[in-house]
């Protein structure tokens, strides 16, 4: 995953990447947030509980560095050639959202199964751009 501290993150649904997902047209902007571009890999499915826990821990750590409770989760299947199935990835995403929600975070999830148009204004600080792999 790549974590960004974004002064602003704007997205708009563009077109479906998975034909079976619900039709969604959405446009949204979030200010002062940790924006997470993530990909769950095939190997993550076997250890999904651990992967979800590490994902949440890293998101909370990053958000804490910038004193924000706003998090944007954006599925970005360009971080690896290995991909979990859409069903497995969505199940893990749901677990991440549930844990962050219980922690009092304001969560925005870009529609899963879509390509998106987006703009991101990332802070200049070194920690405003962090790559994590586990």
Q: Give tens-digit pLDDT for 83-98.
A: 899 899 999 999 999 9
pLDDT confidence tier of residue 105, bands split at 50, 70 and 90? very high
Residue pLDDT, tens place only, 16-60:
999 999 999 999 999 999 999 999 999 999 999 999 999 999 999
At 78 the pLDDT is: 74
The domain that holds 113 is classified in CATH as 3.50.80.10
Q: How many CA atoms lie within 13 A of 27 on its CB side?
A: 2
Average pLDDT, the chain: 95
The domain total for the chain is 1
At 50 the pLDDT is: 95
Residue-number span of the structural domain to which 67 is assigned:
2-131
Instruction: Give one DSSP letter per residue of 21-36, joined into a string.
Output: SPP---EEEEEEEEEE
Distance (Å, rounded) from C-alpha 124 to C-alpha 131?
15
């Amino acid at each position: 995953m790549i974590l960004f501290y974004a002064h602003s993150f704007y997205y708009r649904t563009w077109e479906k990447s998975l034909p079976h997902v619900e039709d969604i047209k959405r446009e949204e902007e979030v200010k002062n947030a940790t924006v997470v571009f993530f990909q769950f890999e095939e190997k993550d499915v076997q250890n999904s509980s651990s992967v979800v826990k590490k994902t949440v821990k890293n998101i909370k750590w990053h958000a804490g560095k910038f004193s924000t409770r706003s998090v944007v989760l954006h599925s970005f299947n360009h971080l690896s050639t290995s991909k979990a199935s859409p069903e497995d990835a969505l199940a893990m995403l749901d677990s991440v959202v549930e844990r962050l929600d219980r922690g009092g975070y304001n969560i925005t999830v870009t529609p899963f199964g879509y390509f998106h148009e987006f703009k991101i204004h990332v802070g200049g600080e070194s920690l405003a751009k962090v790559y994590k792999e586990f």
